[in-house]
Amino acid sequence: MDPKGQPTEAQTVSKVVKTDAQWQAQLNPEQYRIARNKGTERAFCGLFNDNKKQGVYTCLCCDLPLFSSLAKFDSGTGWPSFFQPFAAENVHNEVDLSHGMRRVEILCARCDAHLGHMFEDGPRPTGLRYCLNSESLTFQQI
């Protein structure tokens, strides 16, 4: 990411691998529950749900740029929502069969932090809704 929050040429970065004890030392209990144990914050309570500032949302665990404010929209769901990632290679999707549902889980490609879920009911141009937990993110204002 350049100083103006724009993607730069793709770079290869090392995978971040830590023990549970190291993650627990880095994160507060709620952040650990959500980012490392696939939890979910309550709707309409997250710090970034109503954030209207221009900038980039990065991974709380490893600082990888994940989503731009330019792709953020109000989904009415109570979680920050985006129609596309900052760079497709920065997120990884996996099938999530928990809670009796079939969903697409969104993970940070660098450290495997749980970010939220992706749904196919978003706005144009992608038709996707990346529904995220604020507790898995940091925000860099530009």
The catalytically annotated residue of 59, 108, 111, 131 is 131
Say whether 131 is catalytic. Answer: yes
138 in Cβ contact with 31 (< 8 Å): no
Identify which of 60, 58, 80, 62 has the alpha carbon closest to the alpha carbon of residue 71. 80
Q: Can you list the pairs that 44-52 forms with residues at least 24 positions away whose Cβ atoms lie under 8 Å?
A: 44/78, 45/78, 46/78, 46/79, 46/80, 46/133, 46/134, 46/135, 47/134, 47/135, 48/80, 48/132, 48/134, 48/137, 48/139, 49/78, 49/79, 49/80, 49/134, 51/80, 51/139
| Chain position carrying tokens 């980039």 | 56
Q: Which residues are marked as active site? A: 131
